[in-house]
Amino acid sequence: KGYKQAYQAALHKTLLQMWIWSEQGKYPIVIDTTSCTHSLRTCGDDLNEEDKAIWQRLTLLDGVEFLHDHVLPKLELRPVDDEVVLHPNCSLRKLGLDGKMLSIAKRCARSASVPLTLGCCAFAGDRGLLFPELTASATEKETAEVNAREYDGYYSSNITCEIGMSEATGRDYVSIVYLVEKASR
């Protein structure tokens, strides 16, 4: 929201905590909200030298890549007889992880698709809560495409995007983790 000092203070506190949790970079940190992954992976220019040294030694994994690269190879999957639709959010696409999300869904469900009219949900953290008309306008084409038929599941990888898409479509968007859990029962 443009509060650079507050952002840097939050980064400092977060990185110090992650440093402890990871045992000084020994273990990766898995982040289950893709916009947070994106922010933490691209924050280097906003860090002081001490924080940058910590940041460079951390392994930050998005939940989607963790599922795809580390969890799925170890699971015995039984794909569900579902047709699912995905909303690979902006941060996921910027990180180049949208293909991994689609791959996960295709391994866990009978069919998986991404709307041709995929765009940004414009929820933008809390903006969609304050100005729901932004999300309604930004998702108009995607919503029409998604609602043109019935799917068995609606998935994304960011809680605010899931809220925004649920509001826009009237469908219950949830984390892709739920589809993996369903296919691994």
pLDDT tens, residue by residue, 6-21: 999 999 999 999 999 9
CA 30 → CA 10, 65, 103, distances in Å?
18, 9, 19
Tell me the mean pLDDT in the region 21-49.
Answer: 95
Residues 36, 79 contacting (CB under 8 angstroms):
no
Please tell me whether residue 139 adopts helix, strand or coil conformation: coil
Distance CA 52, CA 59 (A): 13
Task: Provide the pLDDT for residue 53.
Answer: 96
Per-residue pLDDT tens for 58-75?
999 999 999 999 999 999
What is the reported pTM? 0.91
Please tell me whether residue 113 adopts helix, strand or coil conformation: strand
